[in-house]
Amino acid sequence: MQQAVSAIEARGAGASAHENWPFAVEQATPAIGAFIGGIDLRAPLDEPTYLALRRALIRYKVLFFRDQDITPAAHVALARRFGKLEIHPVFAHHPDHPELVLFDKSDKKRGRENIYHSDVSWREVPSMGSILRCVECPSTGGDTIWANMALAYENLPGDVKARLDGLLAVHDMMPLFGAALPPEQRITLRAQNPAVTHPVVRTHPESGERILFVNEAFTTHFANYSEIAGFRFGFDLKLAEMDLLQYLFRQAAAPEYQVRLKWERNTIAFWDNRAAQHYAVQDYYPAVRRMMRATIIGDRPV
């Protein structure tokens, strides 16, 4: 593991000034995000460029690339450069590339991703990152927001941080994905994807940053709240647990931790799913919004 740095140091503009990037970097907000230029993602990444992009991803949490007219095969190859790829058990896939998830929204299908979340946190080994390309998008609306959850943790009051020490949370895909399925499919999905437990605060395996790792899409409850908090009486304990979890969920919604991207055709966003949450703004219905996403398998949170 690399030497640990604070969330502020990891995103600092001063650090960027001393980095000899092999591409153009324009920081998007003080908290998170950078636009990357002078790079053609259709071509395989050489080792120096790959390593530099990985460093930039860790620092800025989400990288934006404009005018990247890549094929689905090139999209998969780009993502595979950063690790093994997952196949999502629910979303539609590209017919030739099952690693590519298809988001195809129109007047016939409204978007449902408008909730702050970390992709597949319901897996025992959640994703390292996702690479999302805009195939077709409305002229206005359909933006995506990302939030820096390392900064969110760093800015928590000290007494809250103390309450989170050793706390575990349960992540479950079923409340979001299972509700739309018929009972027999729901039973199969549950058998294949049991709920999992992760630390409420995880450590980034590359930067050493501490990251708030609960999200309102998939985190259902704490696994060991009564052991950590101590028991008084039933409803008091449960209300305190719910209050704390809701408080942690709200951290992602702070504008000070966010960047908002206006999509254009052939824009690509590559985010560190270990350290960022995102929210797809559903304000464009009934317009067409088509996206493709490849998701890179990560590591078990610790």
**Which sequence positions are flagged as catalytic?**
117, 119, 278, 293
What's the sign of the alpha-carbon dihedral 100, 101, 107, 111? negative
DSSP string covering 260-276: EE---TT-EEEEETTTE
d(CA 227, CA 25): 46
Q: What is the DSSP letter of 253?
A: G
Residues 6+ apart with CB under 8 A from 50: 81, 82
Structure tokens at 181: 């399925």
d(CA 189, CA 214): 22
| Residue 18, CA distances (Å) to 21, 26, 259 in order | 9, 14, 23
Per the listing, tokens 């039973």 go with: 187
Cβ neighbour number for residue 220 with a 10 Å cutoff? 16
